[in-house]
């Protein structure tokens, strides 16, 4: 079962029937609050016996001794103080959440001797707990033995600066909400989440004060979005374009804009994909999921920024009415595109979505996210998403946000040698340049729709889905991009 953590902050807390968690630096002393939970010094004795040296993210877990109110004691190692970075607080929180096991109540002593734990670090710790506790199990009807675990756990974080930490935690909860929303959408099966259902999810953000417009097929036809509509025409499920406005900044301030590829399922179309692993293509809306998650987060924490989120929502299916290789479509920009491969559909959706965003909003920048190419999986694996950009300053900001959140980016080249690969014999461009530099030619394609607007394309095909398990994520969908872009906005575009 997915566990709900009720996290609160206090100066002290009774330990009755609780798991007492403390943090320890390598070579340091354990937290002072634990003395009460461990009057006989069992923790210290166990640490000696188990050769526990508080290396980063290691756990010492013992039954509380006779005479203690607590049930269990857990010590989480932080490693060396001078090596600690912001992300380690999320990891520590995730590690704490994993050590809850059957506990119904946990008391976390966050004040570590030799370390001044800030409100932000405490909030990051709590965020790590929330993200680790996430599980997508709505469709599991049979309970397993380990589902004897409680589904609500009361977590008290005890620290001197608890009031400030509580305030910082409100923002962290907004981030958790955005990441969880993105993960849920990517995990959901494609029969349940079509373009219309996805647009409904965007509409739900109105509860947070977001203005949401949903464009239907008819409206997109009127706008001339022939590239997006060409992809959609093979599906019985009609496309949608969701436009979300969060107006937290000054009235006249130009917005920042985020655009997401929302292919709810990618069969490849007539250029159909092989069967093995095709089920993963339910996650081909990971870009759109990150954008809706980000807008959720910005609204929930009332970010002082004007932000636009645009989602291109379609399904790519083979059908009697599906588009063919050889077809030529006219995009909203007026540029024509020869379809070489109907499986190169994401760029068609994004070309129209980017051009629409640029023309209508004249944004300060556009960042698009897309599970765009298999080639980026080969090039970078899942340790970095690919970053392609026409703007060095924006690239530097994104790269820094990637380092801070550990949703890392690696910049890839663009250039005219790559651009000419997608020139077409019959139209202005073709939608596939073949095997060579597959991720770069896809980016060059997008670049043809952004004009002079500062723009970055993040290819998240390897980072949004099929995610490796980490301290803060055990789910197939990572929610990649939400923390990254929230940090981009927070660090550079607020106030």
Identify the active-site residue in 72, 171, 347, 483: 347
- Cα dihedral 81, 83, 87, 91 sign: negative
Active site residue 149: no
- Our finding on whether 266 is near Zn ion (CB under 5 A) is yes
**Among 47, 344, 398, 421, contact with ligand BES (rule: CB under 6 A):** 344
Stretch in the footprint of ligand BES (CB under 6 A) among 60-68, 207-215, 323-331, 374-382: 374-382
User: Which tokens belong to 103?
Assistant: 């506990």
H or E element at residue 456: strand 455-459
Q: Which of the residues 253 through 272 are near Mn ion (CB under 5 A)? A: 266
**C-beta of 98 vs 446, nearer to Mn ion:** 446
- Which is closer to Mn ion, CB of 343 or CB of 487? 343
In the range 314-353, which residues lie near Zn ion by CB under 5 A?
Answer: 346
**What is the Cα–Cα distance from 19 to 61, expressed in whole angstroms?**
10
Size of the site for Zn ion (CB under 5 A): 4
Shortest CB 434 distance to Mn ion, Å: 15
Closer CB to Mn ion, 165 or 370, in the complex: 370
Q: Which is nearer to ligand BES, 150 or 374 (CB)?
A: 374
Among 432, 444, 453, 463, which residue sits at the site for ligand BES (rule: CB under 6 A)? Answer: 432
How many Cβ atoms from other residues are within 10 Å of residue 451's Cβ? 14
Residues 483 and 294: their CA atoms lie apart, in Å, by 8
Phi/psi zone of residue 451: left (φ > 0), alpha (ψ -120 to 50 degrees), beta?
Answer: left
Chain centre to alpha carbon of residue 335: 32
Nearest approach, Cβ of residue 126 and Mn ion (Å)? 38
C-alpha–C-alpha distance, residues 185 and 181, integer Å: 6
Count of chain residues binding ligand BES (CB under 6 A) = 16
The reply on whether position 419 binds ligand BES by CB under 6 A is: no
Instruction: With contacts defined by CB under 5 A, name the span among 13-21, 175-183, 339-347, 437-445 that binds Mn ion.
Output: 339-347
Residue number of the CB closest to ligand BES reads 374
Using CB under 5 A, pick the residue from 343, 419, 471, 487 that binds Mn ion. 343
- State yes or no: residue 338 binds ligand BES (CB under 6 A): no
Among 185, 259, 298, 375, contact with ligand BES (rule: CB under 6 A): 375
CB 486 within 8 A of CB 292: no
By CB under 5 A, residue 459 contacts Mn ion: no
> Any contact of residue 315 with Mn ion (CB under 5 A)?
no
CA 481 to mean position of chain CA atoms: 4
Interacting positions 283-302 with Zn ion (CB under 5 A): 284
Closest CA to 260 of 235, 240, 236, 279: 240
- Whether the Cβ atoms of residue 345 and residue 435 lie closer than 8 Å to each other: no
Q: By CB under 5 A, is residue 124 in contact with Zn ion?
A: no
For residue 475, the number of C-alpha atoms closer than 13 Å in the C-beta half-sphere is 30
Q: What's the Rg (C-alpha) of the chain?
A: 24
Question: Which is nearest to 244 in space by CA: 207, 218, 269, 282?
Answer: 207
Instruction: Say if residues 287 and 462 touch (Cβ distance below 8 Å).
Output: no
Interacting stretch for ligand BES, rule CB under 6 A, among 48-56, 142-150, 349-357, 372-380?
372-380
Q: Provide the minimum distance between the beta carbon of 335 and Zn ion in the complex, in angstroms, as a whole number.
A: 21
CB of 3 to ligand BES, least distance (A): 29
Q: Which of 374, 403, 424, 476 binds ligand BES (CB under 6 A)?
A: 374
Angstrom distance (rounded) from CA 291 to CA 299: 12
Looking at residue 448, what DSSP letter applies? T
Residues 220-259 interacting with Zn ion (rule: CB under 5 A): none
Active site residue 273: yes
**Strand pairing class (409-411; 240-247):** unpaired
Q: Supply the minimum distance, in Å, between the C-beta of residue 108 and Zn ion.
A: 42
* Residue 190 makes contact with Zn ion by CB under 5 A: no
260 is an interface residue for Zn ion by CB under 5 A: no
Judge whether 158 and 10 are in contact, CB under 8 Å: yes
Determine contact, residues 352/332, Cβ cutoff 8 Å.
Answer: yes
Tell me the catalytic residues. Answer: 273, 347
- Interface residue list for Zn ion (CB under 5 A): 263, 266, 284, 346
């Amino acid at each position: 079962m997915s566990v709900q953590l009720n996290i609160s902050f206090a100066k002290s807390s009774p330990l009755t029937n609780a798991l007492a968690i403390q943090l320890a630096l390598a070579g340091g002393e354990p937290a002072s609050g634990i003395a009460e939970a461990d009057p006989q010094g069992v923790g210290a004795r166990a640490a000696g016996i188990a050769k526990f040296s508080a290396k980063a993210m290691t756990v010492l877990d013992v039954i509380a001794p006779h005479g203690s109110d607590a049930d269990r004691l857990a010590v989480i190692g932080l490693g060396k103080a001078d090596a600690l970075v912001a992300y380690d607080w999320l990891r520590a929180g995730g590690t704490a959440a994993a050590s809850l096991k059957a506990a119904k109540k946990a008391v976390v002593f966050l004040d570590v001797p030799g370390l001044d734990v800030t409100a932000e670090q405490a909030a990051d710790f709590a965020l790590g707990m929330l993200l680790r506790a996430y599980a997508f199990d709505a469709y599991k009807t049979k309970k397993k033995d380990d589902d004897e675990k409680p589904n609500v756990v009361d977590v008290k974080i005890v620290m001197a600066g608890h009031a400030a930490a509580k305030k910082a935690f409100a923002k962290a909860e907004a981030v958790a909400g955005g990441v969880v929303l993105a993960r849920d959408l990517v995990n959901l099966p494609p029969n349940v989440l079509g373009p219309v259902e996805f647009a409904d999810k965007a509409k739900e953000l109105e509860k947070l004060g977001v203005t949401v417009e949903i464009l239907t097929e008819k409206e997109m036809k009127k706008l001339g979005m022939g590239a997006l509509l060409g992809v959609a025409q093979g599906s019985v499920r009609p496309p949608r374009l969701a436009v979300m406005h969060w107006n937290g900044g000054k009235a006249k301030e130009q917005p920042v804009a985020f655009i997401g590829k929302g292919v709810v399922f990618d069969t490849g179309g007539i250029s159909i994909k092989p069967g093995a692993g095709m089920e993963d293509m339910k996650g081909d809306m990971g870009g759109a999921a990150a954008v809706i998650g980000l807008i959720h987060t910005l609204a929930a924490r009332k970010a002082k920024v004007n932000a636009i989120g645009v989602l291109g929502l379609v399904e790519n299916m083979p059908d009697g009415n599906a588009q063919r290789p050889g077809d030529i479509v006219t995009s909203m920009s007026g540029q024509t595109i020869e379809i070489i491969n109907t499986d190169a559909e994401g760029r068609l959706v994004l070309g129209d979505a980017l051009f629409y965003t640029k023309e209508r909003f004249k944004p300060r920048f556009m960042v698009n996210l897309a599970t765009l190419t298999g080639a980026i999986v080969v090039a970078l694996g899942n340790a970095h998403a690919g970053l392609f950009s026409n703007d060095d300053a924006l690239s530097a900001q994104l790269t820094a946000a990637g380092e801070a959140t550990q949703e890392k980016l690696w910049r890839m080249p663009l250039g005219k040698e790559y651009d000419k690969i997608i020139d077409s014999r019959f139209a202005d461009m073709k939608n596939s340049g073949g095997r060579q530099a597959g991720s770069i030619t896809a980016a060059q394609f997008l670049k043809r729709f952004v004009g002079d607007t500062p723009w970055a394309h993040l290819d998240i095909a390897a980072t949004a889905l099929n995610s490796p398990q980490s301290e803060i994520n055990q789910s197939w969908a990572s929610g990649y991009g939400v923390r990254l872009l929230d940090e981009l906005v927070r660090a550079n575009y607020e106030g």
